[in-house]
Amino acid sequence: MTRDLDTATTAAPETPAPARRTGWRRITMIAAIAGPGLVAANAGNDAAGIATYASAGSQFTYGTLFFMVLVTVALVMVQEMAVRLGAHTGKGLGALIREQFSLRLTALAVFCLLLANTGLVVSEFAGIGAAFELVGVPKWAVIPPAAILLWALVLFGSYHWAERIFLIMSLAFFAYPVAMILGHPDWGAVGHHLVVPHIEPSKSFILLAVALIGTTVSPYMQFYAAAGVVDRGAKPDDYPLIRADAILGAVFACVISLTIIIATASAIGGSGPLDSAAQAAEALKPVAGQNAELLFALGLIGASALAGAVVPLSASYAVGEAAGVERSVSRSFRDAPLFLGLFTAQIVLGATVAMTPVDVIQLLIGTQVLQGLISPVVLVYLLVLTNRRSVLGEAANSPRYRLAATAVVIGVAAMSTILLVQTILSWFGLA
Protein backbone atom coordinates (compact mmCIF):
# COMPACT_ATOMS: atom_id res chain seq x y z
CA MET A 1 0.00 0.00 0.00
CA THR A 2 2.73 2.43 0.98
CA ARG A 3 4.77 1.58 -2.08
CA ASP A 4 1.79 2.18 -4.34
CA LEU A 5 1.19 5.55 -2.69
CA ASP A 6 4.83 6.51 -3.11
CA THR A 7 4.69 5.53 -6.78
CA ALA A 8 1.53 7.57 -7.27
CA THR A 9 3.10 10.52 -5.54
CA THR A 10 6.22 10.29 -7.69
CA ALA A 11 4.19 10.03 -10.88
CA ALA A 12 1.88 12.89 -10.00
CA PRO A 13 3.99 15.60 -11.64
CA GLU A 14 3.75 13.73 -14.95
CA THR A 15 -0.04 13.71 -15.00
CA PRO A 16 -1.77 16.40 -17.03
CA ALA A 17 -1.84 19.63 -15.09
CA PRO A 18 -5.17 21.38 -14.62
CA ALA A 19 -5.89 24.24 -16.93
CA ARG A 20 -4.07 27.36 -15.88
CA ARG A 21 -6.16 30.00 -14.27
CA THR A 22 -5.58 32.88 -16.61
CA GLY A 23 -7.53 35.83 -17.92
CA TRP A 24 -11.17 35.88 -16.95
CA ARG A 25 -10.88 32.58 -15.07
CA ARG A 26 -8.27 34.07 -12.76
CA ILE A 27 -10.34 37.23 -12.28
CA THR A 28 -13.40 35.10 -11.51
CA MET A 29 -11.41 33.04 -8.99
CA ILE A 30 -10.14 36.17 -7.25
CA ALA A 31 -13.63 37.67 -7.12
CA ALA A 32 -15.01 34.44 -5.66
CA ILE A 33 -12.37 34.14 -2.91
CA ALA A 34 -11.32 37.71 -2.16
CA GLY A 35 -13.67 39.92 -0.25
CA PRO A 36 -13.83 39.38 3.53
CA GLY A 37 -10.62 41.30 4.16
CA LEU A 38 -11.62 44.19 1.92
CA VAL A 39 -15.17 44.32 3.27
CA ALA A 40 -14.07 44.14 6.91
CA ALA A 41 -11.50 46.93 6.46
CA ASN A 42 -13.86 49.11 4.41
CA ALA A 43 -16.52 48.72 7.08
CA GLY A 44 -14.15 50.62 9.37
CA ASN A 45 -14.70 53.70 7.21
CA ASP A 46 -18.27 53.82 8.46
CA ALA A 47 -20.20 56.67 10.04
CA ALA A 48 -18.20 56.46 13.26
CA GLY A 49 -14.93 56.16 11.36
CA ILE A 50 -15.62 59.17 9.16
CA ALA A 51 -16.61 61.25 12.20
CA THR A 52 -13.45 60.23 14.06
CA TYR A 53 -11.07 60.87 11.16
CA ALA A 54 -12.74 64.18 10.35
CA SER A 55 -12.56 65.20 14.00
CA ALA A 56 -8.84 64.35 14.05
CA GLY A 57 -8.30 66.75 11.15
CA SER A 58 -10.48 69.51 12.57
CA GLN A 59 -8.95 69.27 16.07
CA PHE A 60 -5.26 68.54 15.53
CA THR A 61 -4.83 69.30 11.78
CA TYR A 62 -2.01 66.96 10.63
CA GLY A 63 -0.90 65.96 14.14
CA THR A 64 -2.31 62.43 14.04
CA LEU A 65 -0.87 61.37 10.66
CA PHE A 66 2.18 59.51 11.97
CA PHE A 67 0.00 57.77 14.52
CA MET A 68 -2.29 56.64 11.69
CA VAL A 69 0.71 55.20 9.82
CA LEU A 70 1.43 53.04 12.87
CA VAL A 71 -2.23 52.07 13.10
CA THR A 72 -2.16 51.06 9.42
CA VAL A 73 0.73 48.66 10.08
CA ALA A 74 -1.18 47.25 13.03
CA LEU A 75 -4.33 46.75 10.96
CA VAL A 76 -2.43 44.94 8.19
CA MET A 77 -0.90 42.50 10.68
CA VAL A 78 -4.12 41.93 12.61
CA GLN A 79 -6.27 41.32 9.53
CA GLU A 80 -3.67 38.99 8.04
CA MET A 81 -3.63 36.89 11.23
CA ALA A 82 -7.43 36.72 11.26
CA VAL A 83 -7.80 35.47 7.68
CA ARG A 84 -4.86 33.07 8.14
CA LEU A 85 -6.74 31.43 11.00
CA GLY A 86 -9.88 31.12 8.89
CA ALA A 87 -8.11 29.74 5.81
CA HIS A 88 -5.88 27.20 7.57
CA THR A 89 -8.30 25.93 10.22
CA GLY A 90 -11.66 26.24 8.44
CA LYS A 91 -13.00 27.79 11.66
CA GLY A 92 -13.92 31.28 12.73
CA LEU A 93 -12.33 33.18 15.59
CA GLY A 94 -15.22 32.44 17.94
CA ALA A 95 -15.02 28.68 17.36
CA LEU A 96 -11.25 28.64 17.91
CA ILE A 97 -11.56 30.62 21.14
CA ARG A 98 -14.17 28.11 22.36
CA GLU A 99 -11.88 25.19 21.55
CA GLN A 100 -8.63 26.65 22.86
CA PHE A 101 -9.73 28.57 25.95
CA SER A 102 -11.89 27.99 29.01
CA LEU A 103 -15.62 28.67 29.08
CA ARG A 104 -15.08 31.82 31.15
CA LEU A 105 -12.49 33.23 28.75
CA THR A 106 -14.76 32.40 25.81
CA ALA A 107 -17.63 34.22 27.51
CA LEU A 108 -15.33 37.21 28.13
CA ALA A 109 -14.42 37.43 24.43
CA VAL A 110 -18.05 37.20 23.31
CA PHE A 111 -19.19 39.72 25.95
CA CYS A 112 -16.54 42.25 24.87
CA LEU A 113 -17.57 41.92 21.24
CA LEU A 114 -21.30 42.23 21.98
CA LEU A 115 -20.69 45.26 24.22
CA ALA A 116 -18.65 47.05 21.58
CA ASN A 117 -20.92 46.07 18.70
CA THR A 118 -24.13 47.17 20.41
CA GLY A 119 -23.01 50.79 20.50
CA LEU A 120 -21.58 50.47 17.02
CA VAL A 121 -24.82 49.20 15.47
CA VAL A 122 -26.62 52.16 17.02
CA SER A 123 -24.02 54.50 15.55
CA GLU A 124 -24.46 53.04 12.05
CA PHE A 125 -28.19 53.76 12.03
CA ALA A 126 -27.52 57.14 13.62
CA GLY A 127 -25.15 57.79 10.72
CA ILE A 128 -27.85 56.89 8.20
CA GLY A 129 -30.25 59.25 9.97
CA ALA A 130 -27.67 62.05 10.09
CA ALA A 131 -26.96 61.62 6.38
CA PHE A 132 -30.60 62.10 5.42
CA GLU A 133 -30.99 65.01 7.82
CA LEU A 134 -28.26 66.77 5.82
CA VAL A 135 -30.64 66.81 2.83
CA GLY A 136 -33.71 67.73 4.88
CA VAL A 137 -35.25 64.29 5.53
CA PRO A 138 -36.04 63.50 9.21
CA LYS A 139 -34.34 60.42 10.61
CA TRP A 140 -37.59 58.84 11.81
CA ALA A 141 -38.69 58.61 8.18
CA VAL A 142 -35.59 56.71 6.98
CA ILE A 143 -34.13 54.66 9.84
CA PRO A 144 -36.99 52.10 10.08
CA PRO A 145 -37.07 51.44 6.29
CA ALA A 146 -33.27 51.21 6.25
CA ALA A 147 -33.32 48.68 9.09
CA ILE A 148 -35.97 46.58 7.33
CA LEU A 149 -34.03 46.69 4.06
CA LEU A 150 -30.75 45.59 5.66
CA TRP A 151 -32.54 42.83 7.56
CA ALA A 152 -34.36 41.58 4.46
CA LEU A 153 -31.25 41.64 2.27
CA VAL A 154 -29.42 39.32 4.66
CA LEU A 155 -32.32 37.02 5.53
CA PHE A 156 -34.14 36.76 2.21
CA GLY A 157 -31.73 38.01 -0.41
CA SER A 158 -28.14 37.37 -1.38
CA TYR A 159 -25.76 39.02 1.05
CA HIS A 160 -22.99 38.81 -1.54
CA TRP A 161 -24.99 41.06 -3.89
CA ALA A 162 -25.95 43.36 -1.02
CA GLU A 163 -22.28 43.56 -0.10
CA ARG A 164 -21.42 44.76 -3.59
CA ILE A 165 -24.19 47.36 -3.50
CA PHE A 166 -22.89 48.78 -0.23
CA LEU A 167 -19.34 48.91 -1.53
CA ILE A 168 -20.47 50.75 -4.66
CA MET A 169 -22.31 53.30 -2.52
CA SER A 170 -19.20 53.74 -0.39
CA LEU A 171 -17.23 54.78 -3.47
CA ALA A 172 -18.57 58.30 -2.89
CA PHE A 173 -15.78 58.69 -0.34
CA PHE A 174 -13.27 58.60 -3.17
CA ALA A 175 -14.10 62.29 -3.24
CA TYR A 176 -11.85 62.71 -0.18
CA PRO A 177 -8.56 62.07 -2.05
CA VAL A 178 -9.77 64.59 -4.65
CA ALA A 179 -10.82 67.04 -1.93
CA MET A 180 -7.44 66.54 -0.27
CA ILE A 181 -5.63 67.60 -3.45
CA LEU A 182 -7.98 70.47 -4.33
CA GLY A 183 -7.86 71.70 -0.74
CA HIS A 184 -4.18 72.61 -1.28
CA PRO A 185 -2.85 71.25 2.01
CA ASP A 186 0.58 72.22 3.29
CA TRP A 187 2.40 69.25 1.71
CA GLY A 188 5.55 70.00 3.68
CA ALA A 189 3.62 69.75 6.94
CA VAL A 190 1.83 66.62 5.71
CA GLY A 191 5.12 64.92 4.84
CA HIS A 192 6.66 65.99 8.16
CA HIS A 193 3.80 64.62 10.25
CA LEU A 194 3.70 61.36 8.27
CA VAL A 195 7.27 60.49 9.29
CA VAL A 196 7.84 62.40 12.56
CA PRO A 197 5.94 61.33 15.70
CA HIS A 198 3.70 63.95 17.25
CA ILE A 199 2.12 63.44 20.67
CA GLU A 200 0.27 65.95 22.82
CA PRO A 201 0.08 65.17 26.56
CA SER A 202 -3.60 66.04 26.76
CA LYS A 203 -6.63 63.94 27.51
CA SER A 204 -8.34 65.07 24.29
CA PHE A 205 -5.40 63.87 22.17
CA ILE A 206 -5.19 60.50 23.96
CA LEU A 207 -8.97 60.14 23.71
CA LEU A 208 -8.89 60.72 19.96
CA ALA A 209 -5.86 58.44 19.53
CA VAL A 210 -7.69 55.57 21.22
CA ALA A 211 -10.75 56.35 19.08
CA LEU A 212 -8.57 56.12 15.97
CA ILE A 213 -7.36 52.70 17.10
CA GLY A 214 -10.92 51.65 17.86
CA THR A 215 -12.33 52.70 14.49
CA THR A 216 -9.39 51.30 12.49
CA VAL A 217 -8.61 48.08 14.38
CA SER A 218 -12.15 47.27 15.51
CA PRO A 219 -12.68 43.85 17.15
CA TYR A 220 -15.60 43.01 14.87
CA MET A 221 -13.27 43.21 11.83
CA GLN A 222 -11.24 40.22 12.98
CA PHE A 223 -14.31 38.13 13.75
CA TYR A 224 -15.93 39.00 10.42
CA ALA A 225 -12.77 38.52 8.35
CA ALA A 226 -12.10 35.02 9.72
CA ALA A 227 -15.76 33.98 9.58
CA GLY A 228 -16.18 35.40 6.07
CA VAL A 229 -13.25 33.32 4.82
CA VAL A 230 -14.82 30.20 6.33
CA ASP A 231 -18.32 30.99 5.08
CA ARG A 232 -16.98 31.31 1.54
CA GLY A 233 -15.42 27.86 1.75
CA ALA A 234 -11.81 29.00 1.28
CA LYS A 235 -9.05 26.41 1.78
CA PRO A 236 -5.35 26.63 2.79
CA ASP A 237 -4.40 26.60 -0.91
CA ASP A 238 -6.40 29.81 -1.32
CA TYR A 239 -4.41 31.58 1.39
CA PRO A 240 -2.10 33.62 -0.91
CA LEU A 241 -5.11 35.34 -2.50
CA ILE A 242 -6.86 35.70 0.84
CA ARG A 243 -3.73 37.24 2.34
CA ALA A 244 -3.46 39.69 -0.55
CA ASP A 245 -7.12 40.63 -0.10
CA ALA A 246 -6.62 41.29 3.62
CA ILE A 247 -3.46 43.36 3.18
CA LEU A 248 -4.66 45.40 0.21
CA GLY A 249 -8.02 45.95 1.89
CA ALA A 250 -6.38 47.21 5.07
CA VAL A 251 -4.00 49.52 3.19
CA PHE A 252 -6.78 50.86 0.95
CA ALA A 253 -9.05 51.61 3.91
CA CYS A 254 -6.26 53.39 5.80
CA VAL A 255 -5.23 55.46 2.77
CA ILE A 256 -8.82 56.72 2.53
CA SER A 257 -8.69 57.44 6.28
CA LEU A 258 -5.51 59.47 5.88
CA THR A 259 -7.01 61.50 3.03
CA ILE A 260 -10.08 62.23 5.18
CA ILE A 261 -7.84 63.60 7.93
CA ILE A 262 -5.79 65.69 5.49
CA ALA A 263 -8.83 66.98 3.59
CA THR A 264 -10.58 67.96 6.82
CA ALA A 265 -7.42 69.54 8.21
CA SER A 266 -7.02 71.60 5.03
CA ALA A 267 -10.62 72.82 5.09
CA ILE A 268 -11.45 73.29 8.78
CA GLY A 269 -8.24 72.37 10.62
CA GLY A 270 -7.82 74.02 14.01
CA SER A 271 -11.54 74.68 14.44
CA GLY A 272 -11.82 72.21 17.30
CA PRO A 273 -14.00 69.11 17.78
CA LEU A 274 -16.85 68.52 15.35
CA ASP A 275 -20.39 69.13 16.55
CA SER A 276 -22.35 67.87 13.55
CA ALA A 277 -22.19 65.88 10.33
CA ALA A 278 -22.62 69.16 8.46
CA GLN A 279 -19.26 70.35 9.81
CA ALA A 280 -17.61 67.17 8.55
CA ALA A 281 -19.12 67.83 5.12
CA GLU A 282 -17.27 71.14 5.02
CA ALA A 283 -14.11 69.25 4.10
CA LEU A 284 -15.65 68.30 0.74
CA LYS A 285 -16.44 71.85 -0.33
CA PRO A 286 -13.17 72.31 -2.26
CA VAL A 287 -14.30 69.60 -4.68
CA ALA A 288 -18.10 69.59 -4.35
CA GLY A 289 -18.91 73.21 -3.63
CA GLN A 290 -22.52 73.67 -2.52
CA ASN A 291 -23.15 69.97 -3.20
CA ALA A 292 -20.73 68.98 -0.43
CA GLU A 293 -23.46 68.01 1.99
CA LEU A 294 -25.22 65.89 -0.64
CA LEU A 295 -22.01 64.10 -1.59
CA PHE A 296 -21.10 63.56 2.05
CA ALA A 297 -24.61 62.25 2.73
CA LEU A 298 -24.41 59.69 -0.11
CA GLY A 299 -21.07 58.39 1.12
CA LEU A 300 -22.26 58.30 4.71
CA ILE A 301 -25.34 56.29 3.71
CA GLY A 302 -23.28 53.75 1.79
CA ALA A 303 -20.61 53.37 4.46
CA SER A 304 -23.17 53.14 7.27
CA ALA A 305 -25.25 50.60 5.39
CA LEU A 306 -22.19 48.43 4.76
CA ALA A 307 -21.17 48.47 8.42
CA GLY A 308 -24.83 48.22 9.47
CA ALA A 309 -24.82 44.71 8.01
CA VAL A 310 -21.22 43.66 8.74
CA VAL A 311 -21.15 44.68 12.43
CA PRO A 312 -24.21 42.67 13.59
CA LEU A 313 -23.15 39.77 11.36
CA SER A 314 -19.73 39.66 13.06
CA ALA A 315 -21.38 39.36 16.48
CA SER A 316 -23.76 36.70 15.18
CA TYR A 317 -20.82 34.73 13.76
CA ALA A 318 -18.94 35.00 17.06
CA VAL A 319 -21.85 33.86 19.22
CA GLY A 320 -22.81 31.07 16.81
CA GLU A 321 -19.23 29.83 16.69
CA ALA A 322 -18.81 30.00 20.47
CA ALA A 323 -22.09 28.10 20.95
CA GLY A 324 -21.21 25.57 18.24
CA VAL A 325 -24.44 26.06 16.28
CA GLU A 326 -25.20 26.67 12.59
CA ARG A 327 -24.06 30.08 11.39
CA SER A 328 -24.14 31.14 7.77
CA VAL A 329 -25.86 33.82 5.72
CA SER A 330 -26.86 31.11 3.27
CA ARG A 331 -29.01 29.32 5.88
CA SER A 332 -32.68 29.90 6.63
CA PHE A 333 -34.07 31.13 9.94
CA ARG A 334 -35.17 27.57 10.72
CA ASP A 335 -31.66 26.20 10.15
CA ALA A 336 -29.79 28.96 12.03
CA PRO A 337 -32.22 30.50 14.56
CA LEU A 338 -29.56 31.78 17.00
CA PHE A 339 -27.37 33.26 14.27
CA LEU A 340 -30.15 35.06 12.40
CA GLY A 341 -32.13 35.80 15.57
CA LEU A 342 -29.21 37.66 17.10
CA PHE A 343 -28.67 39.54 13.84
CA THR A 344 -32.35 40.58 13.89
CA ALA A 345 -32.21 41.68 17.54
CA GLN A 346 -29.18 43.89 16.92
CA ILE A 347 -30.83 45.55 13.92
CA VAL A 348 -34.00 46.28 15.93
CA LEU A 349 -32.08 47.60 18.95
CA GLY A 350 -29.73 49.73 16.87
CA ALA A 351 -32.51 51.32 14.83
CA THR A 352 -34.67 51.97 17.89
CA VAL A 353 -31.96 53.71 19.93
CA ALA A 354 -30.75 55.69 16.88
CA MET A 355 -34.17 57.35 16.61
CA THR A 356 -33.82 58.87 20.08
CA PRO A 357 -32.48 62.45 20.39
CA VAL A 358 -28.78 61.55 20.68
CA ASP A 359 -25.71 63.67 19.95
CA VAL A 360 -24.65 61.87 16.77
CA ILE A 361 -21.01 63.02 16.61
CA GLN A 362 -20.37 62.31 20.30
CA LEU A 363 -22.09 58.93 19.95
CA LEU A 364 -19.99 58.03 16.92
CA ILE A 365 -16.67 58.97 18.52
CA GLY A 366 -17.70 57.49 21.87
CA THR A 367 -18.35 54.08 20.32
CA GLN A 368 -14.87 54.14 18.80
CA VAL A 369 -13.32 54.89 22.19
CA LEU A 370 -15.17 51.85 23.56
CA GLN A 371 -13.89 49.79 20.62
CA GLY A 372 -10.37 51.00 21.40
CA LEU A 373 -10.66 49.93 25.04
CA ILE A 374 -11.90 46.46 24.08
CA SER A 375 -9.53 45.89 21.14
CA PRO A 376 -6.57 44.74 23.31
CA VAL A 377 -8.67 41.93 24.79
CA VAL A 378 -9.60 40.52 21.37
CA LEU A 379 -6.09 41.03 20.01
CA VAL A 380 -4.62 38.94 22.83
CA TYR A 381 -6.85 36.02 21.83
CA LEU A 382 -5.86 36.49 18.19
CA LEU A 383 -2.14 36.63 19.02
CA VAL A 384 -2.21 33.53 21.23
CA LEU A 385 -4.12 31.52 18.61
CA THR A 386 -1.80 32.45 15.74
CA ASN A 387 1.25 31.70 17.91
CA ARG A 388 0.12 28.12 18.59
CA ARG A 389 1.47 25.44 16.29
CA SER A 390 -1.22 23.13 17.64
CA VAL A 391 -3.72 25.39 15.87
CA LEU A 392 -1.90 26.50 12.70
CA GLY A 393 1.01 24.07 12.38
CA GLU A 394 3.64 25.47 10.02
CA ALA A 395 1.41 28.50 9.35
CA ALA A 396 1.83 29.73 12.93
CA ASN A 397 3.58 33.05 13.57
CA SER A 398 7.32 33.02 12.99
CA PRO A 399 9.53 34.35 15.83
CA ARG A 400 9.92 37.74 14.10
CA TYR A 401 6.22 38.02 13.30
CA ARG A 402 5.37 37.01 16.87
CA LEU A 403 7.62 39.77 18.21
CA ALA A 404 6.08 42.41 15.91
CA ALA A 405 2.51 41.28 16.66
CA THR A 406 3.23 41.34 20.40
CA ALA A 407 4.51 44.91 20.07
CA VAL A 408 1.26 45.86 18.31
CA VAL A 409 -0.89 44.34 21.07
CA ILE A 410 1.20 46.00 23.81
CA GLY A 411 1.00 49.35 22.03
CA VAL A 412 -2.79 49.19 21.68
CA ALA A 413 -3.14 48.05 25.30
CA ALA A 414 -0.88 50.85 26.54
CA MET A 415 -2.98 53.52 24.80
CA SER A 416 -6.16 52.02 26.21
CA THR A 417 -4.67 51.85 29.70
CA ILE A 418 -3.55 55.49 29.59
CA LEU A 419 -7.06 56.58 28.61
CA LEU A 420 -8.63 54.42 31.32
CA VAL A 421 -6.30 55.83 34.01
CA GLN A 422 -6.92 59.41 32.83
CA THR A 423 -10.68 58.82 32.95
CA ILE A 424 -10.58 57.38 36.48
CA LEU A 425 -8.36 60.22 37.72
CA SER A 426 -10.75 62.77 36.19
CA TRP A 427 -13.57 61.29 38.29
CA PHE A 428 -11.62 62.36 41.39
CA GLY A 429 -10.56 65.71 39.95
CA LEU A 430 -6.94 64.62 39.58
CA ALA A 431 -6.64 64.93 35.79
Per-residue pLDDT band for 144 (boundaries 50, 70, 90) equals: very high
For residues 270-282, give the mean pLDDT: 75
Q: Is the pLDDT score of 72 beyond 50?
A: yes
Per-residue pLDDT band for 340 (boundaries 50, 70, 90) equals: confident
Angstrom CA distances, 12 to 8, 16, 17, 431, stand at: 6, 9, 9, 70
For residues 351-379, give the mean pLDDT: 78
For residues 371-400, give the mean pLDDT: 88
Q: Is the pLDDT score of 272 beyond 90?
A: no
Percent above pLDDT 70 for the chain = 82
Percent above pLDDT 90 for the chain = 15
Digit-coded pLDDT (tens) for 317-338: 888 888 777 776 667 777 778 8
Pick the CATH number of 37-386+396-427 from 3.40.50.11310, 3.40.47.10, 1.20.1740.10, 3.40.50.2000: 1.20.1740.10
Digit-coded pLDDT (tens) for 94-116: 889 988 988 888 888 888 888 87
pLDDT for the residue 11 = 44
pLDDT for the residue 27 = 47
Digit-coded pLDDT (tens) for 15-45: 444 444 455 555 454 444 446 667 777 777 7
The answer to whether 170 and 299 are in contact (CB under 8 A) is yes
Q: Is the pLDDT score of 270 beyond 70?
A: yes
Single pTM value for the model: 0.79
Q: Is the pLDDT score of 229 beyond 90?
A: no
pLDDT for the residue 15 = 45
Digit-coded pLDDT (tens) for 412-423: 888 777 777 776
Q: Is the pLDDT score of 429 beyond 70?
A: no
pLDDT for the residue 190 = 93
Per-residue pLDDT band for 401 (boundaries 50, 70, 90) equals: very high
Domain ranges of the chain: 37-386+396-427
Least confident of 129-143, 269-283, 301-315: 269-283
Q: Is the pLDDT score of 375 beyond 60?
A: yes
pLDDT for the residue 361 = 67
pLDDT for the residue 20 = 46
Q: Is the pLDDT score of 195 beyond 70?
A: yes
pLDDT for the residue 170 = 65
pLDDT for the residue 201 = 76
Helix (H), strand (E), coil (C) string for the chain: CHHHHHHHHHHHHHCCCCCCCCHHHHHHHHHHHCCHHHHHHHHCCCHHHHHHHHHHHHHHCCCCHHHHHHHHHHHHHHHHHHHHHHHHHCCCHHHHHHHHCCHHHHHHHHHHHHHHHHHHHHHHHHHHHHHHHHCCCCHHHCHHHHHHHHHHHHHCCCHHHHHHHHHHHHHHHHHHHHHHHHCCCCHHHHHHHHHCCCCCCCHHHHHHHHHHHHHHCCHHHHHHHHHHHHHCCCCHHHHHHHHHHHHHHHHHHHHHHHHHHHHHHHHHCCCCCCCCHHHHHHHHHHHHHHHHHHHHHHHHHHHHHHHHHHHHHHHHHHHHHHHCCCCCCCCCCCCCHHHHHHHHHHHHHHHHHHCCCCCHHHHHHHHHHHHHHHHHHHHHHHHHHHHCHHHHHHHCCCHHHHHHHHHHHHHHHHHHHHHHHHHHHHHCCCC
Per-residue pLDDT band for 236 (boundaries 50, 70, 90) equals: confident
Q: Between these two residues, 423 and 237, which has the higher pLDDT value?
A: 237
